[in-house]
Amino acid sequence: MTKTASFLFRCALGALAALAVGAVSAQPGAREVPQNLFDDPFEQLSHDLPHCPEPVGPRAPESQRSAVAHNRIERGTTCWLAGRCRLAHSTDYDPGIAQALLPRLKASPALRGTTLWVYFFARNVYLQGCAASPAQVDALAAIAREHPDVFTVVPTVRTGAGQPLPYEAMP
């Protein structure tokens, strides 16, 4: 099967899955709990600071699965079709990036005095939570940037008491 045929087949399967899920509606008035619909790598790195809300991270309500799936299908395919990327989708890189970076991030002394989570999506690393200082966040972001498959590192971390929360928290 050619790269283009394989890509089109994967897109068709994704679209069918999205349609099937979209046909199932949530109960009216019921609040949906966000879920990690596509099993993106998502992990808590530390828990030293109390009262730091858990981020939603890569989780979304089931009712948004088709919209999220559409976004995911589009990511990275142009690069692959042009022959510049070794994997067909940006999200295909995420498990390997997580496997390489999680031990390094967890071993960093910059984690002391933080409550942080990390998730990996489409070759991007998202650091979320709370830290005592921006220097801690900068040190962890620098570790993540060293991985050759990482496009960007996006830290949304509260660094100081009384600061607003820079990310969406779990309900």
Quick: pLDDT tens for 11-61. Answer: 433 443 443 344 344 455 568 899 999 999 999 999 999 999 999 999 999
Domain ranges of the chain: 3-24+37-158
Phi, psi dihedral angles at 34 (to 5 degrees): -60, 145
Average pLDDT estimate for 80-107: 92
CB 121 within 8 A of CB 71: no
Q: Decide: helix, strand or coil at residue 143.
A: helix
The tokens describing 35, both together, are 């879920």
Residue 75: predicted pLDDT: 75
Cβ burial 98-135 (10 Å sphere, 16+ → b, else e):
bebbeeebeebebbeebbbbbbbbbbbbbbbbbbeeee
Give, in order, the Cα–Cα distances in Å from 169 to each of 54, 64, 164, 165. Answer: 6, 17, 12, 8
* DSSP symbol at 170: P
Mark 8-38 as b/e (b = at least 16 C-beta within 10 Å): eeeeeebeeebeeeeeeeeeeeeeeebeebe
pLDDT in the model for residue 9: 39
Task: Kindly provide the residue ranges of all beta strands, DSSP E only, lying in the chain, ordered along the sequence.
Answer: 42-44, 114-121, 124-131, 152-158
